[in-house]
Structure formats: structure tokens, C-alpha cells
Structure 1
Amino acid sequence: MLVAAAACPCPPLLVPEVAAGAAPELDVARAACTDALGVLAAARPGRLVVVGPVGGAGVGHHPAGTTGSFRGFGVGLDVRLGEGEGEDAEARLPYSLAVGAWLLERTGWSDAPVEGFGVGESSTTEQCLRSGRELAARDERVALLVMGDASACRTLKAPGYLDERAAPFDAQVARALGAADLAALTTLDAGLAHELKVSGRAPWQVLAGAAEGADLGGSLLYEDAPYGVGYVVAAWS
């Protein structure tokens, strides 16, 4: 059963070494992520699953010990998802889960075994809900660290340019995550999310499936759109 969850953004820029000179601009977001992870630790889960978006419609499990790297950004920084050797020495974490692994390393996570779950950004709502239910059933006390960004269309200089639908969509997401509103997350428009370049829609719907019957309350810790991309941090317990 799900006992706690944290929703965090997943841009590699969250990692100071990647952001370089622009690193201070996301200090408030990093601090909020640290607070959200504190909520997970306080729940004393028996298992932590890091959920993040990947391309396509498939899903992928990443065992403890799977490594990730930010070398593609010109940074000699590697991360490891929890403790373990990983089942495939050649496997690599997608960037969304690598950022999650970095957050866990940064806060010194040692409270529960960790594994990763990548969910395709084009997965249907029902597929996401089903995956969430399956993850919640993996332990008597499961926590989720859910990685994903809101729209990338908030300003003229945003990756997806300015779209007037972006701000209302992001506000809907922030309200839903802040209130632990499963119905609102479940009814997020997948088509609109795709048009607005939202990476978090599928992971948030995995969260909604995992939280069914859990009776958790939510708290919105951060919501902003630096670089024209919507970032939301929330904690559920």
C-alpha cells in the first residue's frame, strides 16, 4: 500500500554541475525537493520506487544499483539508484530516473530499498493507473518518488514556445498534486499534455493509481516556471 509520495521535476538542470553558472536559479526548487524527500523518509516505507517518464508507450523496471550518467551534458557525474549491483551492468537509467537518483544521493537516502520504474510518456491513462496499482502492491509500505515536468510552453523562450493553454494546465496540475486529488490527476488530458510537452502526465497518473484507497493528504511545496517550463514539487502523506 502507498504510504507516502513526493512529486518532483526532472530536468537535468536540477543538478548543479549540469546547470553550472545558472545553478542558483533552481536553489528554491532543490530545497523543496529535499523537503519532499523528508516526507518520504518520515513515512518509514519498506520500499521506495522512483517513477519517471521515458519515450514511447512502454514501461521498464530498473533494479537497485542501476547506474545513470550526466556525461551526455559534458559533466563527469555518475549516479546509482540505491544500493545494489543492478541486474544488467550495461543498463542505464533514463535521465528522469537519473535525476531522481541524484536527489536521493544528495539527501543521503538510506531509509528503504530503492528501485526504478520508467513509464512511457504516451502510455494511456488506464495503463498508468494499472501500473500504479501494481507498484503499490509490491510491499506493505510503499513510497513513490514521482519525477516529471509540467508544460514546456509557458514563455516565448520556452522549449515549446508560448502556448496560452500552458499556464491553466499547469495550474490544474499544481492544484491536483497539492491536494492529492486523484480524480483530477486521472482526468488530465493526455492529448493536450503531449501538445504542451508535459513529461509528467503519465508518472502523475501512475501515482493516482498507486494512491487508490490510501487516503493521503497533499501539500504543494513549490510551483514556478523557470526557463518557461512548469516545475511542481508536492508531498503526500
Structure 2
Amino acid sequence: MAIVGGDDLTRSFDPAAAYPSLFASGIRWRAGWGQAAEEPQPLPLSLSLGERLLMSTRAGDTGMIVANVAFESIDFDASPEDCAALGRDLAGRAERVAMIVMGEGSTCMTASDRARRTTEADVYDKAVMRALEHGDYDALGRVGGNSVTTTGQAPWRVLAGAAAGHRFEGRLHAGARRRDRGYFVASWTRRPFGTNVDR
């Protein structure tokens, strides 16, 4: 399992010492047994939210699952090549790798930016939504060229790098409704070669 999200730096976190925390965002919440490590490592916002999602899917928290989780942040401004390289590295660490990727739509825009650039924001969001819905890693790796948003592009490109060369069936769980604009929840399931899947 790998959790990937954007941050100011590209770095790996020690799963034995990492723990989710929202303190840096002004919210008094943190969790996880990594707090008791000799050198605890609070996760950045994107990875903290990703770890919170993982925590919500398991009953109890013995730490046994966390030991097999890689926490990887990618620089918001990382080049497409660096993003793809990290994706390939993560995908190659085991025969099967599950990923939680914390990308972003145009939600990170300020209210004034959105008011001035509504059309660009909508184009960006629709491109992300289509790529996620269809499991299209080629399209996902290309989104963001209009610079509407910078914080969400790098994680999408990491996912594209990890998925390259394989076929996926995408399912969009949230994001198609107008009130969900800029927020997406999707899942990709890898298809064996030879399976007919429309892309």
C-alpha cells in the first residue's frame, strides 16, 4: 500500500514513525502510534487525510497494516518526469500495489481566482473527472497544463506513472454532480491483459 500526496517537498516517511496530524492546519487532531517513536514524523495535510481514510477502513489499529504502508509526498512543483519516476518506483515495489492518491481539483483556487477563471476551472475539473472515470492514465498525466491549480497535479501524475502500461477499469464515486465540483472520489481496478475495456 502506498499513500501519495502533494507537499512542499518530495520525501518518504518512515511508517514506524509517521502519524497523521492536522495541527499545522489549525485543527487539534492527531492520531497513530507513530507519535511514540524516537523521532516522530507528522505527515503533511495530504498524507494525513490519506492515512485517515485508510484508518477508517479497518477495525482497530494494531499497526500491522501500517507497517506495510509507504508514505510518499511529491513536490507540488515536481516535473512530470519526476512524478512519473516516483509512480514507476512505487508500482515496482511489489507484485501488487494498492495506492491512495490524494490529488485535487480546482478546489484549491481562491474565491477571487475562481470568479475570474470559472471556465478554466471547469475545463480542468472535467478533464480530471473524465480521466478518473475511465481509468485513463495518459489523460490524467496531461491534466493541469493551464495552471489553474498546482497543488493537485503532481499526485495525479504519480498515479499516471504507476499505472502506465496497464489497463484499468475506472469508477467515479463522487464528482459528477454540480455541488461536488472540484472534489473527486474514484477507484481503479487493474484489468488483465487481453480483457476488453473501453478507454
TM-score (norm 2): 0.79
1:49 counterpart letter in structure 2 = A
Partner of 2:29: 77
2:15 counterpart letter in structure 1 = A
Q: Which has the larger radius of gyration?
A: 2
1:180 counterpart letter in structure 2 = G
Kept after mapping to 2: 8 A contact 1:151/1:198: no
Q: Tell me the secondary structure at the aligned position of residue 126 of structure 2.
A: helix
Kept after mapping to 2: 8 A contact 1:160/1:197: no
Kept after mapping to 1: 8 A contact 2:77/2:150: no
Partner of 1:116: 71
Whether 1:222 and 2:174 are equivalent positions in the alignment is: yes
Pair 68,51 (structure 1): closer, same or farther in 2 beyond 3 Å: same
Per-residue CA distance 1:202-232 (angstroms, 9 max, x = gap): 1111111111223221111110576x96111
Query: 4+ residue runs of structure 1 moved beyond 4 angstroms?
Result: 83-88, 109-112
Equivalences for residues 106-145 of structure 1 within 5 A: 106-108=56-58, 113-145=68-100
Unaligned stretches of 5+ residues in structure 2: 190-199
Across the aligned residues of Structure 1 and Structure 2, the Cα RMSD in angstroms comes to: 2.7
Equivalences for residues 1-237 of structure 1 within 5 A: 48-55=1-8, 58-65=9-16, 66-80=18-32, 89-108=39-58, 113-152=68-107, 158=111, 160-162=113-115, 163=117, 164-190=119-145, 192-193=146-147, 196-223=148-175, 230-237=182-189
* Cα distance in 2 between the residues matched to 1:75 and 1:121: 22
How far residue 171 of structure 1 moved from its aligned partner, in angstroms, is 0.3
Q: Higher RCO, 1 or 2 (CA under 8 Å, sep at least 6)? A: 1
TM-score (norm 1): 0.67
Percent identical residues: 32
2:171 counterpart letter in structure 1 = S
How far residue 105 of structure 1 moved from its aligned partner, in angstroms, is 1.2
